[in-house]
Amino acid sequence: MSEKNIESLLKEKRVFPPSAAFSSQAHIKGLDAYEEISRKALEDPEGYWAGIASELHWFEPWKTVLEWELPFSKWFVGGKTNISFNCLDRHLGTPRKNKIAILWEGEPGEVRALSYQMLHHEVCKFANVLKSFGLQKGDRATIYMGMVPELPVAMLACARMGVMHNVVFGGFSAEALRDRVNDSQSRMLITADGGYRRGTTIALKKSVDDALAGAPSVEKVIVYKRTGDPINMVAGRDVWWHEAMAVASADFPAEALDSEHPLFMLYTSGTTGKPKGVVHTTGGYMTGTYLTTKWVFDLKEEDTYWCTADIGWVTGHSYIVYGPLLNGATSVMYEGAPNFPEPDRFWSIIEKYRINIFYTAPTAIRTFVKWGDQWPAKHDLSSLRLLGTVGEPINPEAWMWYRKNIGGDRCPIVDTWWQTETGSILISPVPGAVPTKPGSATRPLPGIVADVVDRQGNPVGPNQGGFLVLRRPWPSMLRTIYGDPERYHRQYWSEIPGMYFTGDGARRDEDGYFWIMGRIDDVINVSGHRIGTMEVESALVSHPTVAESAVVGRPDDLKGQGIVAFVTLSAGNQALPALKEELKIHVGKSIGSFAKPDEIRFTDSLPKTRSGKIMRRLLRDLASGAKTVGDTTTLEDFSVLAKLREEEE
């Protein structure tokens, strides 16, 4: 986040209380009710969470609400449940059985509406397909698809039988896919021939073939036909989705799983070069996503709800698939780009389906601002009653634009702070109760104990910057990092002893509102996607010409942050402009196009401390064009800095 933004956040004084009309119809009707629930949750957290979990279906009740032995938590211990059952079967005996569960629009324009009954039918059949290929409870399956209904079908089928799903975003390269398949030791890969994006097709199956050349754990590949583009089907390994489904039975009772049975893993970037498989389990994740979808989006039976995220990221897992379906909602899913065929695709979707709740990312909003007010103005957006944002801090100007141009100055905006690791939203306004301030995620949800502390864990005063931490376990928290419990402990529970370390900097204002300042570790947030600087560095040094590299973020008006890579070349290589392009493409191939550096700067050496640590702060200042470069007294070779400055000119 830029200096300018931080400054404007510090000055932001506007407050928007919910309208009386909104509050009176809301699940939580005002500040008093919110304070009362929060107080009770603080006094008796276990009673509070148990009350919420019991709104869902359990085959067997739990014996203990929480077993907490830092850093490991177990929730609803002894209870047996199934999240797929709760998303589907639970609604079938009610009038919801014929309600639309997933309302899908393809980029080329097709529409598919799957009722709860229909979705249940598909999921049961697909679970039988997985079973027929030998997949069993406890196995892992990687899913690498575009945004088609078959993606949630595959997830819910895995969940139904106790197979852990590992969804890999379709924008990841073959290499990144291979690493994730190998780390998860998946026996099965579920994919599509391709997907539609901005008028062209993306060759998913081609990446799968490349990835599987180095991923021996995979026995079967199931391929959904989406584009019809010619692909290679490997005999004995690859199977068409439609052929397998044609012979599958639609009878598949949901397994009664332990509350702590692993539900899914999802890889996310950290401070090392190796992405971590964040593990979520069944009962707690279910409770967290169920409750937050209902309260934060003030979801009602009649609502049509749309989250624009991709299911390849946690937002799509929790707020397109699980949260909405647990609530029996109609969840809209769109396959393609926001500017295809024109920059008003989102607004035309809102108008066409009379969408009531709309959840998107600040980076998207800033792009809409750039495209111009005329695009939303062409459409009737009066069906909207609530707006949300997620993924990065939103600058107040973008917030105000969103409120006026999309929300008609009428809709509350929920700025929702959470992470892949937290599973569900933790800090956000409850829209009928908590007045909003542009740029603030406001206050923690009931039951969540967030704080801003210094290195030692002491709370800092109002408006003092510090580390955002969580002081108590919550049901939807990650349980571990797949295959690396030690890293889990070190990363999240040791930085500041006794507390969950989020990696974010924040301040809390005089009203107790949280203002998230962004990452304080070596992670950058590009368009709401988390990218580890180390990952990009490893990708760069894997190129034969590169000796060393240091990657930093710099403020970017559209993406939040952009990527700048400082690169030193190994002997005999010349710093030519064409090499910059080649290196960008190389990073795209190792990770995915979204991780390509915006700028590459060649340099003779990198600024280091006497102990050999790269001085990233210095590089960050250089990359963002800041004039005053901070303390350099430990810099090993002062001439390096002067040279880097020169190269800028």
What is the contact surface with ligand WT7 in residues (CB under 6 A)? Answer: 268, 314-315, 390-393, 415-420, 441, 502-504, 516, 518-519, 525, 528, 530
Q: What is the DSSP string of 522-556?
A: SEEEETTEEEEHHHHHHHHHTSTTEEEEEEEEEEE
Alpha-carbon span 109 to 127, nearest angstrom:
29
* Cα separations in angstroms, 575 against 235, 568, 589, 604: 46, 9, 21, 10
> In the bound complex, what is the minimum distance in angstroms from residue 505's beta carbon to ligand WT7?
9
Nearer to ligand WT7, 360 or 419 (CB): 419
* Cα separations in angstroms, 307 against 144, 241, 304: 20, 26, 10
> In the bound complex, what is the minimum distance in angstroms from residue 307's beta carbon to ligand WT7?
11
Alpha-carbon span 72 to 83, nearest angstrom:
22
DSSP H/E element including 277? strand 276-281
Spatial contact of 493 and 474, defined as CB atoms under 8 Å apart = no
Nearer to ligand WT7, 66 or 517 (CB): 517
Alpha-carbon span 184 to 142, nearest angstrom:
8
Which residue in this structure is represented by tokens 């008796």? 44
Nearer to ligand WT7, 282 or 428 (CB): 428
Nearer to ligand WT7, 289 or 416 (CB): 416
Number of Cβ within 10 Å of residue 71's Cβ equals: 20
CA 396 vs. chain centroid, Å, equals: 22
What residue type is 409 in one-letter code? D
Nearer to ligand WT7, 439 or 597 (CB): 439
Direct distance between the N- and C-terminal alpha carbons of the chain, in angstroms, rounded to an integer? 24
Spatial contact of 412 and 22, defined as CB atoms under 8 Å apart = yes
Nearer to ligand WT7, 87 or 413 (CB): 413
> In the bound complex, what is the minimum distance in angstroms from residue 553's beta carbon to ligand WT7?
12
> In the bound complex, what is the minimum distance in angstroms from residue 438's beta carbon to ligand WT7?
12
342-360: b or e for each residue (b if 16 or more CB lie within 10 Å)?
Answer: ebbbbbebbbebebbbbbb
Which residue in this structure is represented by tokens 């919550």? 474
> In the bound complex, what is the minimum distance in angstroms from residue 416's beta carbon to ligand WT7?
5
Q: Which residue is nearest to ligand WT7 (CB)?
A: 420
> In the bound complex, what is the minimum distance in angstroms from residue 153's beta carbon to ligand WT7?
23
Alpha-carbon span 1 to 59, nearest angstrom:
47
> In the bound complex, what is the minimum distance in angstroms from residue 7's beta carbon to ligand WT7?
17
Nearer to ligand WT7, 119 or 296 (CB): 296
Nearer to ligand WT7, 45 or 532 (CB): 532
Task: Identify which of 487, 49, 592 has the alpha carbon closest to the alpha carbon of residue 272.
Answer: 487
Nearer to ligand WT7, 420 or 590 (CB): 420
> In the bound complex, what is the minimum distance in angstroms from residue 644's beta carbon to ligand WT7?
28
> In the bound complex, what is the minimum distance in angstroms from residue 269's beta carbon to ligand WT7?
8
Q: How is residue 524 written in tokens?
A: 């950058």
